[in-house]
Amino acid sequence: MLHPDLRWFMPGIGIKRWIGVILIGTTFIGFGFAVVILDIYRKAPEVWWGAVLAYLSLRFLDRVVRALIFGGIGIGLVLFGVWGLNKALLRPFVQPGRPILDAVSAYRRKERGPRIVVLGGGTGLSAMLRGLKTFTHNLTAIVTVADDGGSSGELRRNMGILPPGDIRNCLAALSDDEAMLTQLFQYRFSTGTGLDGHTLGNLLITALTDLTGSFEKAVTESGRVLAVKGRVIPATLHDVKLIADVRIPFKSRIRQIRGESNIPEAAGEVRHVRLEPDNPQAFPPAIQAILSADLIIVGPGSLYTSLLPNLLVPDIADAIRSSRGLKFFVCNVATQPGETDGYSCDDHVLTIYKHLNSEIFDVIISNNNFEGQLPEGVDWVRTQGADESSFLLYLSNLIDEEKPWRHHSSRLAQVIIDLYNERTGPLINKDEV
């Protein structure tokens, strides 16, 4: 195993090239000094201090030996100076107690990480992004814009912008430092005329939309403020509305529910959802990201109100089918009242296949730990088992013990990366990040 200091010269760190530039520049400086020193050296025997200079210059040794000695000392001093300078410059940006080299190496490794595209919305997508960002910086979150409830819905109705809520959550999850600035971005006002219920991040994105002239530029600028590693982009820039056909309990009729926030409140059995308009154009960067992705992940998130609104954009669905990347579906760990009551993992997958009229997933990832207290009206999403399921199913403990109805960020990300490495080769390792 290499000494910690020698690891600076390992391939892929991006240090050796700059050390080489410094050495070349130092060599030219040395040539300049050599012209002057050589003249002094030749005249040294004529003065009283000539004997001292001859001894210090090691004239009694062979010329090649002297060149190696002085050259080695020079190179050593230059490398020591470069190391000390980098250490001093990078210290403010490295976590206390973590070697600088480890931080630089991890950063470069994440830069070369797989290109991953995730589609969804809500807290489930944010949780997964928090885990995946420890493996790669090449993350793209494609988020639904069908949200019409809460702060996002009010801004959508009053300001005429696309709903910023899910995009705000993803930006916060991908932030390089989820400390004070991110907490401020997520701050929700509880009092104040006109502010009650709004988050500062939603208001910031709204203001940036007005300043920059476009919603997509506002999202990009918000990402810069939060030092986001990755991208968050809307599935479409069209003002779409989600419409659901819901069977009301104890009645034989199907009721049409308009609006994403109204679907769970109908407390019925969702049969089908669609967008209005039904053929919105996808945001071009979303299509480009999907087509160039190494891995595409759908879920977790609300099946009918977060996942399907993305997949119902025709160009998005077509791009997923055409992409050569692996395609994973991450099933929710618990049901959602008013949407997926009584649903199994197979029900989630079949619902997506029914809406898309095609099978698109290579692997289904589902939880197999059912210990913990769930909120009232919420049940575990269970599977038939890997041997009985009609899909290629991977089961693992994915729950967050503090909130067992949600995924554990690190566990879920590790499972995804392990499955990806299993099918493509060990490109990234958790222990090295």
**Residue 328 corresponds to which tokens in the numbers above?**
């994973």
Asked if 214 and 266 touch (Cβ cutoff 8 Å), the reply is: no
pLDDT for 154: 75
Q: How confident is the model at residue 430 (pLDDT cuts 50, 70, 90)?
A: very low
Give residue-wise pLDDT tens across range 335-387: 999 899 999 999 999 999 999 999 999 999 999 999 989 999 899 999 876 55
Q: Record the tokens describing residue 386, joined without a space.
A: 């890997």
Q: What is the per-residue pLDDT for 123? A: 82
Closest-CA residue to 111 (of 103, 100, 121): 103
Please give the Cα distance from 425 to 280 (Å, whole number): 38
Dihedral of the alpha carbons of 329, 332, 337, 343, in degrees to the nearest 10: 70
Over the chain, what is the mean pLDDT? 82
Using the predicted structure, report yes or no on whether residue 426 has a pLDDT greater than 70: no
Cα(140)–Cα(252) distance, rounded to whole angstroms? 43
| Cα distances (Å, whole numbers) of residue 367 to 28, 258, 411 | 63, 32, 11
Pairwise CA distance, residues 290 & 317, whole Å: 10
pLDDT of residue 260: 85
3-state helix, strand, coil in the chain (%, to 5): 50, 15, 35
Does 394 have pLDDT greater than 80?
Answer: yes
Q: pLDDT for 36-80, tens place per residue?
A: 766 666 665 555 556 666 666 676 778 788 778 877 887 888 778
- Closest-CA residue to 297 (of 44, 45, 94, 115): 115
Q: How many Cα atoms sit within 13 Å of 161 on the Cβ side?
A: 28
Distance from C-alpha of 198 to C-alpha of 150, rounded to nearest angstrom: 8
> What sign does the dihedral 56-60-61-62 (CA atoms) show?
positive
Provide the CATH topology of domain 112-144+235-432: Rossmann fold (3.40.50)
Question: What confidence score (pLDDT) does residue 145 get?
Answer: 87
Q: pLDDT at residue 82 above 90?
A: no
More confident residue, 194 or 239: 239
CA 330/CA 129 separation, integer angstroms: 13
Q: Please tell me what DSSP assigns to residue 388.
A: T
Condensed to tens digits (0 to 9), the pLDDT of residues 265-304 reads 887 889 999 999 888 999 999 999 999 999 999 989 999 9
Reduced to 3 states (helix: H, G, I; strand: E, B; else coil), residue 30 is helix
Residue 55 in tokens: 């001894």
For residues 418 and 200, the model is more confident at 418
How many C-beta neighbours within 10 Å does residue 184 have? 13
Residue 236 backbone phi and psi in degrees, to 5: -150, 155
Percent of the chain with pLDDT over 70: 79
∠ CA 253-254-259, nearest 5°, is 145
Q: Determine the average pLDDT of the residues in 403-419.
A: 93
Q: Which of 305, 286, 359, 295 is nearest to 120 (CA)?
A: 305
pLDDT in tens, 216-236: 888 888 888 887 888 999 999
- Residue 307, pLDDT above cutoff 60: yes
What are the residue ranges spanned by the domains of the chain? 4-103, 112-144+235-432
Rounded CA gap, 384 and 255, in Å? 31
What pLDDT was estimated at residue 97? 62
- pLDDT of res. 8: 58
User: What integer pLDDT is reported at residue 412 of this predicted model?
Assistant: 95
Ramachandran assignment for 14, one of left (phi > 0), alpha (psi -120 to 50 degrees), beta (any other): left
pLDDT at 181: 65
